[in-house]
Structure formats: structure tokens, C-alpha cells
Structure 1
């Protein structure tokens, strides 16, 4: 006997109550902060990236404090240790002023220029700058913190120290036997690990490389394409289209990393660092910049890797902005489109925060087994 199966009223009512409950939750969060000045400040804090900028400011203050007032731990050494007896280069291949030009101002200019040429919206401009500066200051802060705690002698420590003539060899001695009068030259001799030039170079130029990879989709494996040729973030009724990878784009994105590598190698050529210092510093800068980048952008293989995450949870407005319960703009970090649950289940896409659930469909009659 044929029998009809249709969604019951109870199921449809449950779904409606769930959606209403979600909106009610947002409303309760809004009302929890109350009105007046405190409520306004709380809502503004939640809907903006103010906390990120406050954290950036704290890191900047911490770095300035370390650079100005903290002296490194001074490891004991012997004056006949050949590993720290290399000559002191008075003129560096990449001095600090050049490092700032190559790894800070140049990447920042190219990043802003890229956004300008691509006609990027203000949200992308904002997150590009925030992610870049976060990568720079976090890398610098952690590098200097570790440098001072480890206190590893540089390869040119003996030349910096200028030990007393009667200092005995084959005996552990400390900083008190040094005759160097320049405070920075002397104490900087115990800041070898990790390499600050290397970590800084990979933080600045590395972020530019990641940003270019995302904006030019150099490593994007697929994109969602509708039968009509248009593109959308929602995958229902669409098919995945493989994307050809462009070698020229990949080489362009690789060029900042090559520049960072050259800066790192120059530190060994100037006898400022050992190979271990440079390798650890480079790896540290790259890991931190990748972490900073992924806080705001999806992975590079994503079809929409050029679009940043949105921020706090909310609903999409008419212009594609996310709107909260009272119409205020919200932002929300969401999943990549590859992470959607298959078949018409819940879909999450870059740039949207609302779940896409299958519509209510009346099923036709089904025949029972014979």
C-alpha cells in the first residue's frame, strides 16, 4: 500500500523554535550589557577589532621595555673558545636601518599597493594591516624575550669583549673581564640565539608572500562554480572546478621569501650568528607570521582564499555585511567551504556565518516493500 511521508508539524515547529532561540540568544547577549555608556562600550568592543589593537599596543610597549631596560643573561665563556673568536664586522651587510626598509616598509607598501590595484574593500585593507603589524610586533617581542633569557654568546664575542690581557685561558670567565666601554656593543654580544634579523625578515616578507598567495590564488586547488558561470559561496547545486596553478604567480609569491632568506644568510656572513641561530630565527618568524595570517584569512588551497574571515556571529545584510539582531554590523570567523557537511546538510562558507539548511520539501508517496 502506498503511504505518504511528509515533515510533521512537530518537526517544522521544532526547527522554527531552534532558529528563534538562536536569535533570542543574540538578543540576550545584547541585553546583558545593559544600556548607557557601559553597554555602548561593551557592544562596540565586541563588534570591532579593538581587542586586537589593544593587544598589539601591549606587545609594542613590552618590546620597547625589553629593548630599553633589559640586559641579557651573560653566559660564562673561555677566551680561547674558537667558536666565539671570529672578527667583529663594523659594517654589516644588512644593518638595522636596511632591515626595517626591506622587511617592514617595503612589504607594507607592496601590501597596500596590492589592495589598491585590486580595488579591495575597506575590510580587507584593515585586516591586511592588522595581520601584518601583529606578525611583526609579536615576532620581535618573542625574539628579544628569548634572546635575553638564553644569553648565548655571539661568534664575535671575544672581539667585542676585548678581555683583560692577564685573563687565563681554559678557564670560565664572565662579563667582568671585558674592557669594552660601549654598552650596546658589549651586552649585545650575548644576544645570539635566535637571530633577530632572520625572524624579523620572515615575519615581514613572509606575511607579504602569504598575502600574495591568497590574493592571487597561487595555490588554490578548486573553486565553486554554478552552471550559469557565476560563483557563489553556497555549494548547493554547484560543482567544483579545478583551478590551474600559475607558475608565474607562484614565483612572484616566492620572491619575498627569497629576500628573507638572503637577509638571514647575511648574518652568518657577518659572523653575527651561527647556523642554528639563523635557522631557528627563520623558522620562528615563519611560524608566527603564518599563525597571524590564518587568524584572519582561510587556507591558501581554499577557492576563496582571497577573502578574509568576517568576525563575530551574525546574519548577512543586503550588502553582504553581517548584521546583528539590532541591525548593527557584526563579524564572524567561519569555516572553509571544503569543510561543509556533504549533501545539503549544514554548510559553512568563508565570509558568511549563517547555516544553510535544506528547505522544507514535501516528499512524494513511497511504495512499501512488497
Structure 2
């Protein structure tokens, strides 16, 4: 517990706190946290079970597909490619999409020292992955579409006298397939790609987390390695998605739709976990939760914040990001903020000066009397 037992004050002096103390000034109690988030956990389990049930259900829609021209030429070679072994099994894609971000949540505790941060960030990640998985399996079951190797699995044989549908009566359903029924059902559920959905749901969440904790897109020029680290999860997600096109399990549009679903879920899950997505002043701050079905708390945040919701005031949360670049943690970084969601709030210390105006201090207190000449010469810490 030594990793979580110490915290640094804003002035740089080391302080020792109780084992239940969360870094950045919040008290963590596991029992209270479970009561606050327990209903979410139950809902996520039910969503996961529902997703598994739909995943193993037979396809709802019976797709038509052309087989051959009357002269014997294959009409759709895009669904007649050889069947190959998948380069990335679905369980592996889901595992790395969860495990890699989780490892970074834990590693960052070397600086953050916050049990609540680990638990709540992991909850946000799971919300992204489970929501995306449920979303994609519903589309697979109800819509779907033939995979690139569909005809290889189908092994169609048209009985004598059976007339197809559509142009020149060349379209048939999977009733003419003679292959393995389970493989045939899987082969008509190409859209969207589950691999792509899981990869983007997990790795886009991690990329947003890197941006928030390392202050990549903020008020100072970051080190180049931070840019590489930010794009690394996105590259990983793209490699997993494109591998499914290479091995003939998906079309390009399947992985594109899966990527969009995963990205959308990652954005929503991140924004419901942290105070902002792009506003660098607040996107590392965990949003407080005051009550749930299992815990009714009318006075404020049961974990010690003393407020029912985040007010978007500089220094209100007492939470710091991992990085100390740009003056974070020593009350030196002052900025007018970014033109995104949190900047639009009207709270004191957050909206002063309009969308771009009004200086904000990323330390413990907001400072609205910054000397313009000092800022002009690059010293944002001097104030009148």
C-alpha cells in the first residue's frame, strides 16, 4: 500500500496520509464506492449477459446473395475469397482492449496515488467496452451481411427446379447452403466488425486518457514522446481492425462502422467519467457521484469532495494530472482555457472573460488578476 499511502502537496513537500486516503485530497472508502457504483456494475453485468445471448443467437435477417451468372461466372468475388485463420482472435482483441489501458491506469498511480482513480477509470473503460459490444452484436444479429469468405463456408448447391429471385433470378438465401450451419450463421454477420469495435472502444479511451493526464493538447508545447504515446493506442486499434480485412473476415466498411461505434462509446464513457474531453484544465478530473440506488446522500459527494457536482472552478477538485510539465501542481500554469465543453460553463473561475478570455490557474486557486505584460514575456506566474 506504500504506492497509495503518500501524496505530495502542491508546494512540493511530502505528506503521509491514511491508507484510505486518495491522492489529490479525496478520501476513498471501498464500501462507499461499491454502494455508489454497485447498480452500474449490476447493469453492466446484465448488459454483458444480454450481449452474449445475442451473440450466440441465430441471424435475424436472411440476406440475398448472387451466386453465378448463367455462363458460370462468379457474380460477387468479394464474398468468395479463401477462408483463412483469423490473425487476431476476438477474445484477444477484447483482452488487449481492456488490459493495456488498465495497466496504464495502475502505472500512473506512481504519481497519482489514488485508488479511486484506478477503480473509477476502470469503470469508465468497461462502460465503453460493454456498451460498444452490446451495440455491435445487436447490429450483427439484426442487420449483418455476408463475410468475404461467405461462399466458401456456404458451399451453395441449387436444387433442380429452384428459381432464384431478382435480376435474372440469380439471388438466393442461405437456404441453398450445404456447409456447417454454425459457420454459415457466423458468415452472414460481417457488419460491424466486433474486433474493430472492441479495439477502438478501449484504445480511443486510452488515447483520451493519455491526452488528459499528460496534457498533450494544452497551454504548453509538450515533449514529442507524448505525441507518439497518444497515437500509439489509435495505431493499435487500426492494426487490429485492418488485420480483419487482410485475413478475409471483414470488408473495409465493416471495420469502419465498428471503429465509429467504438470511438463514439469511448468518447461518451470518458466524458461521463471525467469532467471534460478536450478542455485541458479539467479533463483529468474525476466527476463526483453523490448517490445511487444503494446510497442516498443528499448533502454532497460521499467520497469526501463535499460537493454534489463539479463546478468547473480552477482548483476546486484538488486533483492533479500525472504530468508536472507546464506548471501543473505548482500553481504556475495559467491559461484562458480551450474553446470546448467545459469552457462554456458559467461557473466562477471557469467562464470569466467569455470563451477565450479570463485567466485560469491550474493550481489550487484561480487567479483573475494576471499582469498582461508578465504573460506577454512568458511569465504567467506573476500576478498583480
Task: State the TM-score bracket (shorter-chain normalisation).
Answer: 0.5 to 0.7
Q: 1:336 to 1:176 in 2, by over 3 A?
A: farther
Residue 98, structure 1, aligned to residue 108, structure 2:
no
Q: How big is each residue's C-alpha offset from its partner over 1:320-354, in whole Å with a ceiling of 9 and x where there is no partner? A: 9223xxxxxx65244475433427xxxx999x9xx
Picking from 225, 249, 253, the partner of 2:230 is 253
1:18-167 matched pairs, under 5 angstroms = 48-80=36-68, 81-89=76-84, 91-114=85-108, 116-164=109-157, 166=159
Show the counterpart of 1:15. none
**Residues 51/349 of structure 1: CA separation in 2 closer, same or farther (3 Å cut):** farther
Partner Cα separation in structure 1 for residue 153 and residue 252 of structure 2: 20
2:73 corresponds to which residue?
A: none
8 Å Cα contact 2:147/2:187 also seen in 1: yes
1:303 corresponding residue in structure 2 = 281
Local SS of the residue matching 2:56: helix
Specify which structure has the higher proportion of helix: 1
The equivalent of 1:179 in structure 2 is 178
Task: Give the C-alpha shift of residue 45 in structure 1.
Answer: 10
Describe the shift of the 1:101–1:315 C-alpha distance in structure 2 as closer, same or farther (beyond 3 A). closer
Equivalence for 2:305: 322
Structure 1 residue runs without a partner (length 5+): 1-43, 222-242, 324-329, 353-370
Contact 1:136–1:204 (8 Å) recurs in 2: yes
The offset of 1:142, in angstroms, is: 0.3
How far, CA to CA, are the matches of 1:293 and 1:86 in structure 2? 39
Are the equivalent residues in 1 in contact too, given 2:79–2:148 (CA < 8 A)? yes
The answer on 1:332 being equivalent to 2:332 is no
How far apart, in 1, do the equivalents of 2:60 and 2:272 lie?
A: 32
- Aligned-residue Cα RMSD (Å) equals 3.5
| Aligned match of 1:229 | none
Cα drift, residue 185 of structure 1 = 1.4
CA distance in 2, matches of 1:311, 1:98: 33
Alignment correspondent of 1:244: 221
Give, in angstroms, the shift of residue 87 of structure 1.
1.4
- Distance change >3 Å, CA 267–CA 168, structure 1 → 2: farther
For structure 2, the residue ranges without an aligned partner over 5 or more in a row are 1-31, 69-75, 291-297, 315-342, 354-359, 365-384
Instruction: Report which structure shows greater RCO (CA 8 Å, sep ≥6).
Output: 1
Distance 1:105 1:258 in 2: 16
Structure 2 residue corresponding to 1:283, chosen from 240, 247, 260:
260
Correspondence for 1:188: 186
- The structure with the larger Rg is 1
Q: What TM-score do the two structures reach when normalised by structure 2?
A: 0.64
Residue range with higher mean Cα deviation, 138-147 or 300-309: 300-309
C-alpha spacing 1:45/1:251, structure 2 compared with 1 (3 Å):
closer
Q: Is the 8 A contact 1:310 1:334 kept in 2?
A: no
2:232 paired with 1:262: no
Aligned to 1:234: none
Q: Relative to structure 1, is the Cα distance of residues 349 and 179 closer, same or farther in structure 2, using a 3 angstrom cutoff?
A: farther
Shift of 1:275: 1.4
| Closer, same or farther: CA 341–151 of 1 in aligned 2, 3 Å | closer
Provide the rounded CA distance (Å) in 1 between the counterparts of 2:103 and 2:34.
30
> Runs of 4+ in structure 1 displaced over 4 angstroms?
44-47, 165-170, 313-317
